[in-house]
Amino acid sequence: GMIYGKVASRKSQVQSRGEGIIGVMKVSVIMTVLNEGESLRAVLDSLAAQTRPPDEVVIADGGSRDNTLAVIREYAGRLPLKIIETPGANISQGRNAAIRVASGEIIACTDAGVRCEPGWLEKLTAPFTATPLAPVADGGEGPGVRGRGAAAVAGFFRSDPQTPFEIALGATVLPEARDVNPQTYLPSSRSVAFRKSAWEAVGGYPEWLDFSEDVVFDLKMREKFGPFVFAPEAVVHFRPRESLRAFAKQYYQYA
């Protein structure tokens, strides 16, 4: 896609508020969008309010025909934005395109339809250190083990319901953090971070898949680098599907 907008990073603010967490590592937040319009404001507002501000926010637009790009441009003074056009791309293609142009060695992923808690990026990136990346050896501890330098970190997500049906749906289908087994947990692309070198090592997101691409990517990451470090306090909130029809379509596509 074509890069057509970039704003200088708020370097001094990042250094004063975030450098103690992950040293001098640069963190790029990436997401894909398509006809998101006004719903984008919640996630962009929440990214602008992070306790550890992103060094850049890379957004891949899949060919929006509404006011998505106009809304994004409104945040040019509040976020260090980089926008790329990827018309017709599926989610994997858009995500890979955004990661390719991202300049951070740490990539944090979220989605347009969420709201990130203020400490989301700080908690999500805390397990990373400057430890060199190496695949897990048979029987050995690799960078997926806390304290040895994470290859990938799994955040968490919670329901943000607005109707009685959405309350019931969220309570029924979403796990609680206490129910998660960190050894087997596969994070959602709404809340996950990884080294760019690890993304490269597994070949990126599978561009042949239109749905469940994050599950396949997670499995490849876990196979090569061991379990994701689980960061249950790195929380984003998202709205469940608004109807049984929408819920059924979602589960048909993903399962």
pLDDT band at 12 (very low <50, low <70, confident <90, very high): very low
What tokens appear for 107 in the block? 């990539």
pLDDT band at 210 (very low <50, low <70, confident <90, very high): confident
Q: Count of residues for the chain?
A: 255
pTM, to two decimals:
0.80
Reported as a single tens digit per residue, the pLDDT across 215-240 is 999 999 999 999 999 999 999 987 65
Whole-angstrom Cα distance, residue 136 to residue 149?
12
Mean pLDDT of 239-249: 58
What pLDDT shows up at residue 151?
Answer: 95
What pLDDT shows up at residue 126?
Answer: 94
Evaluated on CA atoms 146, 11, 195, 47, the torsion sign reads positive
Instruction: Tell me if 166 sits within 8 A of 240, measured CB to CB.
Output: yes
Q: Which amino acid is at 218?
A: D
Reported as a single tens digit per residue, the pLDDT across 24-63 is 789 999 999 999 988 899 999 999 999 999 999 999 999 9
> What average pLDDT is seen over the chain?
80
